[in-house]
C-alpha cells in the first residue's frame, strides 16, 4: 500500500486505486480478509528513513499504528525497515500496488500474504 506521493510507475503490474483512504483504515480492513505469512520473520515492511531524515529526527507515528493493527490481526512478527531503493525493488515485485490517499511520511507498507486455512465448512470435503 502506498501513500499519495509514491511513484506508481515504478511498481508492480496491478494498480488498485483507493484514493481518499488512509493506509491504517485500509490495512485494518485488509487484515480481516488477507492472512499474512506466518513463516517469515517480518510479513510487513516499511521504508527505512533516509539518513537526512534520521539526522533531523523525523518521527513516523503511522508505523506505531501499523504495529498495533498487525498485532490485533495476530501477526507476531516485527515491522521490518527496508532501505529506500530495496523497498522500491520489492514493490516492483508485488502482485498488486494499492495507491491510497495516505499523507503520513514513510507511510508505504509492503505485506507478504500467507495461506488461508481451511475452516470447518470444508472438513466434509
Domain containing residue 104: CATH number: 3.40.1650.10
**Inside any domain, residue 122:** no
Residue-level pLDDT at 109: 96
Q: What is the largest CA-CA distance in the chain?
A: 59
Residue-level pLDDT at 120: 44
pLDDT of the chain along its 125 residues, tens only? 665 555 555 555 688 888 889 999 999 999 998 888 888 889 999 999 999 999 999 999 999 999 999 999 988 878 999 999 999 889 888 888 888 999 999 999 999 987 766 664 445 44
Q: Domain of 91?
A: 8-115
Burial class (CB in 10 A: 0-12, 13-18, 19+), 11: buried
Residue-level pLDDT at 52: 97
Residue-level pLDDT at 28: 95
CB count within 10 Å of CB 68 equals: 12
Residue-level pLDDT at 121: 46
Q: Sheet holding 110-111: strands in order across?
A: 79-82, 44-47, 110-111
Q: Is the pTM of this model over 0.85?
A: no
Residue-level pLDDT at 12: 58
**Inside any domain, residue 39:** yes
**Inside any domain, residue 121:** no
**Inside any domain, residue 72:** yes
Report how many domains make up the chain. 1
**Inside any domain, residue 43:** yes
Amino acid at each position: 500500500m502506498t501513500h499519495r506521493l509514491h511513484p506508481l510507475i515504478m511498481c508492480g503490474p496491478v494498480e488498485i486505486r483507493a484514493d481518499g483512504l488512509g493506509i491504517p483504515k485500509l490495512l485494518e480492513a485488509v487484515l480481516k480478509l488477507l492472512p499474512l505469512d506466518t513463516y517469515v520473520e517480518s510479513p510487513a515492511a516499511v521504508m527505512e528513513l533516509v539518513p537526512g531524515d534520521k539526522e533531523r529526527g523525523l518521527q513516523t507515528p503511522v508505523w506505531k499504528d501499523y504495529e498495533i493493527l498487525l498485532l490485533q490481526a495476530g501477526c507476531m512478527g516485527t515491522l521490518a525497515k527496508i532501505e529506500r531503493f530495496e523497498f522500491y525493488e520489492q514493490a516492483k515485485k508485488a502482485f498488486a500496488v494499492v495507491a491510497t490517499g495516505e499523507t503520513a511520511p514513510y507511510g508505504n507498507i509492503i505485506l507478504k500474504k500467507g495461506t488461508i486455512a481451511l475452516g470447518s465448512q470444508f472438513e466434509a470435503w
